[in-house]
Structure 1
């Protein structure tokens, strides 16, 4: 996958629908939603090596997908001389929006495809240029071959390698097998070579991003060149031998795979590889560095790299899409001509939309697309961003005020362009038949119509001739060209040659005579000017890196061509004079001949009788196991086994848990094939809390629940959902120690007090609202907020059934203070009324430090947590020292007021008694170390609120200093 994600099964906790989750078991985060906008009626078709899953709306592509897959299978087999010993599940979707509803992975947003080593599934959308679709299928299928080599038939779910190869091995080889080099990837590698910024290649460590570069993943861009070098230096036999040594190293460790496979050390391999790349790109050494062009301005901190831009018609402003290295986000800025920020149109982390712009990287041809457009009066900026299944068009003024938001139910809307009349706007998208189309929208009526009807992939349309025509790039397998679309007649004519190069972002000079575009005619993206009268093509730049996205602007000192230039890992805005000329280009005749003779994609004849309806085909997940401790006297063990549908739509789970001597067992069925998802459970759960024997002593209470429930979840958006639940179970509570139970019963008889222990049936109905806008980083929450409000009403069918109403609220807010530090606040409030109110428990772990596990109980109350979280070594990220980045510190304060039964303030302090007048709390400092993917927490806390149990004694504070160790993420 482009950024492929390994799928690991996670242990599913028991969700007892009648009880607030935050009170019963510690769930760190509520999580965002996987919204299913569609219900897919899956079919299956079997070819020689694949089980292909598709649905009727995407059936038209089955011959092409099957043909490409089988052809790619043979291609990869010829290289590796080995094949997977299993049939390969291949899942394809009609478009990107439907692909991102995939169930068996958490998030595939922005990826072109995915392959995972657990069940060896591969999945991808098909709404992309045909040659790119062929590359994606080959890329993901290569991963399946790699998994078969490294893990064998059992798959990654059964084998844990001692040393896993770095990402350049996996992704680089998958890109290598496609046999095609993307011009932008080549540009990035060439720039790193010519500016001496090559990273060190290791079989055990990841490649570092070349110094100064923030727009690329070297495992893709450089990884494929590493494998090309292996082929050219050691042959395809060397490729196979290296994979064999990598597998051996993964199981046994130890030996240098470079030495074992090639007879050279790792250091010598790097020297040879660097020489190989220098020789490959030596013809580019005498080319123009970007320093020879005029840089328009320098972006202010914290912004780096201009990914897309648009100059206002009056020339006063430049709108840019850029990387905010402080927020790790993409921002749209309005800059003046000196580079000063006039307005950030997308500040912070917003829920107004999910992704901006829809066509920015990752993507293989997308860096040169136009994502921003100005209105003719220079007062409005328009762009696309995702707001649900599809994208919306946002129109904003220079002050940052949103003027319009128009939802467009089409896939991959991109390249907006205002018409000169200011009322209309053109854009590209896939129509409902899956054809790449140019549309024209009326911004007043919000209606749009298609302007094209053919299957040519279209990008970056721009208005010319005063709005009478559009210029755009059209691509087909093996060739691309620039076309002109007449708005009145809808006639399409080709402008200039069709060639096997990459044309992009055409623009017209103000006088309409010259066409300026970028192309990689000689291996590097450069600017060219074509005289539309004579047909002459002139080279304007000869870049060492690459130049693209030209815009012609008429100014007082003449006409200038603005463009994005790439040099030393950075994208900046430059300009050159419109009349700049380096050479007249003579197009070779064979270029157009090759373009016209471009091969069609392979297709497979489909037997309609072989198409079957997909049934439930369970696949077995290996049981994950969790072992941990809450304190020195409490240990935890949990394991689960899941039978999951191959598409992840349905799952059966058996879960076992043991906390000290308390056992939990449950089975569940989860259906998430539709937007409304439901979970059915049967369970037997034993847990405990600390309860009062009388007015002086406390002891452990065993809480046993046997029954089942049904829970339904309806996501309102990515951020929020409604939850409904109905349960039916038996609750039995008693003290673990029989002597304590006898003392408790005697106390009740003596005082006539109501027993808080329960021995009844419970039929709870739950209604809850949950939202999550938290932005997570590798160490946990970074900014945003989350919360849950739940109402649980127990139906009182008879005296044997509990009668109670429970309200629970949980709100968390994360206020980012610096790059990696934040202030975290959590407030929980709860109230349970009725004959047998629900008892909430706190204490232990990171929920309430300084107290024992589940020591604090009550049926009503408020609990607050406040934390300042910060890196222990703030400069570690600058020096790229992951070992130091793993240390994080915090200052915390916890406070709570808990009442039990009819207003009795209950604070269990020790076995000596309780206080009924004050609250409890703790404050202190903690350290978290991330080791093996687990956060290990050590806290030093100072508790307050512990009373003296002497009768009639004046209240005075009893404090306690203690250390606690726990494993887990904070709230």
Structure 2
């Protein structure tokens, strides 16, 4: 029979389509939406199987080119070999990555990749930068090899259940091995933590677990252990894992010193290394005026709207109520700074997700430009801050990820950075009049943060086009209507986030050329350092004739400041970029060309076995048994099986057998499932008639995610 329960489920599913239900559903969770199915391929090297779709072939070939060398490097370090290829699932953009079924959980924008523990799968998105992709791939490969090392060590000692290392050690080891030397960002975070009392003893690192600081602290601790005791000590720690159940005991027996002593010595090392920086660097409140609320932790990309004297309104991207929002920074009646949400992210289809780091705001007069994910892709919103309404929505066909829009001098076009479907991060110009899109750059360099000159047909932006396989960035300019690309700065540093001054005579930008990100002014070929902050300074933006706004990382948070503009005659020359003459393209031809490509074929593997208790929804308990979960590599095909019996007598095993199987298909936007079951057991209570019943039946379900916040679904079942 068909149960009435199917109709009762269908009614609320239909109600979920109306706007009121969309808002009501938000606090209870979000949906994963596969907006378009993918034609998966597999690229196999000697040690890695790369799962990709044709649009991202360049990304897949790049990973194939570095995969085997990376595997051999870490295999030697861990002294372990895989007996199978490591599966690596690639996604062309972070939005595609958010649709993954490799994990059943929602993937946040801050997740750069992950390695799951069941099948040892690595999942990675392409963020526009091939050097960053290399680093994240190496980081996740460390996880895969470390997990395999622990499995081999423990299984060789017949220990099947065990706890893993603390998270700071896991992530710290991955960061330490993925990058030969700590970069400027790692030093920045550690210097800030050390000088602001944010570094805890090793036994108390749980206080920062899950934060980005934990990664950098872990990298520092692991690097300190390697410096003191050699890289060999890190491998021996894992090889001794079977001996001890507590990490502090393992450290003491392996390194020969108590963990408390190791912690004290590491903290003393941090003081020796980073305290001297306080002598020639200053806190941000000595440099400029704080605009963020005193207890806030995140306000990024501040811009000034109107007011040539710097008295205009200040907008930024800020964190509030569990999501990123477009905020206005203002003062209350008592003169205290406060943040007011102008556009709330994360609670509607229109403003599904406002990017935290990758995209800046742009302001001119009462017009504000910002980016938000809206459905399958990003959109640029032209927003009237006085009327608090969207004037226009702009999308770029073929590009799911957009960043940092900037308005042309005549207000008729915008320039922005976008990631297309083919592994390229380039610049585009969009006409506000007819929606026409013109591509300015078309290569494999990471072109980001463009800004239009206030009066001339010139665009300045940041790019690693000096050397595409290097993580250094320089500033470049060009006429978007055509013409050559000219470098403005040298390519040996990270020169990012450029903004023209209001009169167009110079460019503000952030650079780590002094070892830490600071604000600089480039004018007439000369550089003037604007800040010497103890933390780091990002995203400088002019505000009036004599000041600029910026974000500074200090005391564990990103906050916005207004800083006086300096223009000293003794500034150092900027220099031009000495770059490679040949255009860079991704991939290592020798390795990538030897890889074997094939079509993806579903192959199921066992994910989980567990004891379960079978329960009929209408008639109560029906027995127990084992539950088995099988999925394919992509997680798109899922089989769940149940096997058990409700008897204590071997003679009745088959008669009282409990068996059920369900298949779930997640390959398209419309998810569906079918199943069959045979459940037997006793039901009732001592106050009622206890009876034995056997029930067989089938079930089916359809679920259609309308968007991130609403879905329609129905399930039916028939029993006998």
Shared fold by TM > 0.5?
Answer: yes
> What displacement does 1:442 show?
2.6
Contact 1:382/1:416, CA 8 A, preserved across alignment: yes
Structure 2 partner of 1:537: 527
Q: Give the drift of 1:264.
A: 1.1
Taking the aligned partners of 1:56 and 1:154, their CA distance within structure 2 comes to 40
- Residue 594 of structure 1 deviates from its aligned partner by 10
- Structure 1 residues 53 and 461 mapped into 2: Cα distance closer, same or farther (>3 Å)? same
- Identify which of structures 1 and 2 has the higher relative contact order when contacts are C-alpha pairs closer than 8 Å and 6+ apart: 2
CA distance in structure 2 between the partners assigned to 1:402 and 1:704 by the alignment? 60
Evaluate the alpha carbon distance shift between residue 572 and residue 46 of structure 1 in structure 2; reply closer, same or farther with a 3 A threshold. Answer: closer
Residues 310-344 of structure 1 deviation map (CA, whole Å, 9 limit, x = unaligned): 110334211121222xx232222123376655852
Residues 295 and 572 in structure 1, CA contact (< 8 A), matched pair in contact too = no
Structure 1 residues 295, 493: CA separation in 2 closer, same or farther (over 3 Å shift)? same
Q: Distance between the aligned counterparts of 1:457 and 1:421, measured in 2?
A: 27
Alignment match of 1:258 (pick from 251, 262, 265): 251
* Matching residue of 1:200: 201
Greater per-residue helix proportion: 2
In structure 2, what is the equivalent of residue 225 of structure 1? 220
Q: Does 1:379 align with 2:377?
A: no
The corresponding residue for 2:348 is 351
> Does the CA contact (< 8 Å) of 1:323 and 1:329 recur in 2?
yes
Aligned runs of 1:274-293 on 2, under 5 Å? 274-286=267-279, 287-293=281-287
Alpha-carbon distance between aligned partners in 2 of 1:255 and 1:209, rounded to the nearest angstrom: 18
* Structure 1 CA distance for aligned equivalents of residues 694 and 432 of structure 2: 62
For 2:547, which of 551, 554, 560 is the aligned residue?
Answer: 560
CA distance in 2, matches of 1:471, 1:146: 43
Distance 1:545 1:436, change over 3 A: same
What are the superposed Cα offsets for residues 755-812 of structure 1, whole Å, 9 maximum, x if unpaired?
xxxxxxxxxxxxxxxxxxxxxxxxxxxxxxxxxxxxxxxxxxxxxxxxxxxxxxxxxx
| 2:607 paired residue among 621, 641, 651 | 621
* Unpaired runs of at least 5, structure 1: 1-14, 24-28, 361-365, 692-696, 731-971
Given that residues 68 and 603 in structure 1 are in contact (C-alpha distance below 8 angstroms), is that contact kept between their aligned partners in structure 2?
no
Which residue does 1:705 correspond to in 2?
695
CA 1:611–1:334 in structure 2 vs 1: closer, same or farther (change >3 Å)?
same
With normalisation by structure 2, the TM-score equals: 0.84
Task: Mark the CA change 1:281 to 1:565 in structure 2 (over 3 Å): closer, same or farther.
Answer: same
d(CA) in 1 for partners of 2:87, 2:147: 14
Aligned residue in 2 for 1:718? 708
Structure 2 residue 326 is the aligned partner of structure 1 residue 332:
yes
Deviations 1:274-298 (A, max 9, x none): 2222333354121122231121434
How far is the alpha carbon of 1:266 from its aligned partner?
Answer: 1.0
**Unpaired runs of 5+ in structure 2?**
12-26, 649-655
Please, what TM-score do these two structures have when normalized by structure 1? 0.63
How many angstroms apart in 2 are the aligned matches of 1:422 and 1:234? 61
The alpha-carbon distance between structure 1 residues 63 and 163, as it changes in their structure 2 partners (threshold 3 A), is closer
- The alpha carbon displacement at 1:656 in A equals 4.6
- The answer on 1:641 being equivalent to 2:624 is no
Task: Note closer, same or farther for the CA distance 1:290–1:725 as it changes in structure 2 (3 Å cut).
Answer: closer
Aligned-partner Cα distance in 1 for 2:444–2:583: 17
Q: What is the aligned counterpart of 2:102 among 96, 101, 104? A: 104
Task: State the alpha-carbon separation in 1 of the partners of residues 503 and 184 from structure 2.
Answer: 31
- Deviation per CA, 1:926-947: give whole Å up to 9, x if none: xxxxxxxxxxxxxxxxxxxxxx
Kindly state the Cα deviation for residue 588 of structure 1 after the two structures are TM-superposed. 9.9
Q: 1:142 to 1:699 in 2, by over 3 A?
A: same
Report the counterpart of residue 403 of structure 1 in structure 2.
391
2:638 to 651, 654, 663: 651
Does 2:293 align with 1:299?
yes
Q: How many Å separate the matches in 2 of 1:655 and 1:16?
A: 26
Structure 1 distance, partners of 2:601, 2:454, is 57
For 1:321, the equivalent position in structure 2 comes to 317
- Residues 589-604 of structure 1 aligned to structure 2 (within 5 Å): 602-604=588-590
Report SS of the residue matched to 2:635: coil
Q: Could you tell me how far 1:118 is from its partner in structure 2?
A: 0.8
**Closer/same/farther in 2, CA of residues 603 and 264 from structure 1, 3 Å limit:** farther
1:273 to partner: Cα distance: 1.0
CA contact (8 A) 2:401 2:418 kept: yes
Q: Distance in 2 between matches of 1:80 and 1:335?
A: 50
Displacement of 1:675 in angstroms is: 1.7
1:122 CA drift (Å)? 0.9
- 1:183 equivalent to 2:184? Answer yes
User: Is 1:675 the equivalent of 2:669?
Assistant: yes
Distance of aligned partners of 1:348 and 1:562 in 2 relative to their CA distance in 1, 3 Å threshold: closer
> 1:864 corresponds to which residue?
none
Give the aligned CA root-mean-square deviation in angstroms.
Answer: 3.8
Q: CA deviation at 1:444?
A: 4.2
Distance 1:348 1:602 in 2: 40
